[in-house]
């Protein structure tokens, strides 16, 4: 793996792995690109069909999916900034992807990962959107391109590595300038599971029915310290989320 001399990359892979992050550093990307293709779009739609995902048509249908738990709320935090907070929902696995990628990106680049779009019903698709876009399924996100070359290089290399791993398809779009990322939920879940198998005990993966208080009791810490260690502004957590557990002082 090539070494980087850019001082903006302040954290090493070992630092990130200590935090339980599935770090993927840019490697040789010969033979791959983020240009997108008909085959890539075919694959995204094929994965959506395999998951039996609905292409949501209206905002009211999207609200029903939120109420049923098929879509979860995504919020800004210290690592991730949403272009807008209202109506920001995605599949749970996509929310987990954003959390993990945002933490890695912030550690590597020193800036927040900016999400410009999440789930959109077909009735609210922009004019230039492909009629085969998977945004209405809740499995796609758009990410802003950084003005810093080093950060763009890190993110593009990471997306290409995850694409090689078969857990997503990513495209660099120009109108407007952003990255379109379609996350494959089942594939990504298995990928995360394989990473979690080697996590240190200073992390905890949220299970269905967990709350911050039950996790705090189980790990021997307090709710306030647990929230502070993870940059949480409230008590909301979701299954699959990986929390840092503060060590006893």
- Are 192 and 100 within 8 A, CB to CB? yes
Q: What is the rounded CA–CA span in Å between residue 245 and residue 238?
A: 16
Residue 239 vs residue 30, higher pLDDT: 239
| 8 A C-beta contact, residue 105 and residue 93 | no
pLDDT in tens, 156-215: 999 999 999 999 999 999 888 999 999 999 999 999 888 766 556 688 889 888 999 889
Domains of the chain: 13-191 (3.30.1380.10), 201-244 (3.10.350.10)
**What pLDDT, on a 0 to 100 scale, did the predictor assign at position 27?**
38
Q: Select the more confidently predicted residue: 169 or 17.
A: 169
């Amino acid at each position: 793996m090539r070494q980087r001399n850019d001082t903006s990359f302040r954290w090493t892979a070992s630092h990130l792995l200590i935090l339980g992050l599935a770090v993927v550093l840019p490697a040789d990307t010969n033979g791959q690109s983020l240009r997108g293709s008909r085959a890539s779009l075919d694959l995204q739609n094929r994965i959506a069909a395999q998951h039996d995902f609905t292409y949501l048509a209206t905002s009211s249908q999207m609200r029903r999916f939120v109420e049923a738990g098929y879509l979860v709320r995504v919020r800004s935090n210290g690592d991730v900034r949403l272009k807008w907070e209202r109506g920001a929902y995605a599949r749970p696995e996509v929310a987990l992807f954003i959390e993990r990628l945002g933490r890695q990106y912030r550690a590597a680049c020193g800036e927040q990962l900016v999400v410009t779009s999440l789930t959109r019903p077909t009735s609210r698709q922009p004019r230039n959107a492909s009629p085969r876009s998977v945004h209405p399924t809740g499995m796609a996100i758009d990410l802003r391109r950084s003005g810093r070359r080093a950060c763009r290089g890190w993110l593009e290399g990471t997306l290409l590595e995850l694409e090689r791993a078969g857990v997503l398809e990513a495209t660099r779009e120009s109108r407007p300038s952003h990255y379109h990322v379609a996350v494959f939920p089942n594939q990504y879940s298995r990928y995360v599971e394989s990473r979690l198998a080697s996590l240190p005990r200073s992390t905890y993966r949220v299970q269905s029915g967990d709350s911050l208080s039950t996790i705090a009791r189980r790990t021997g810490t307090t709710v306030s310290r647990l929230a502070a260690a993870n940059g949480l502004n409230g008590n909301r957590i979701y299954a699959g989320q990986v929390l840092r557990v503060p060590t006893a002082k």
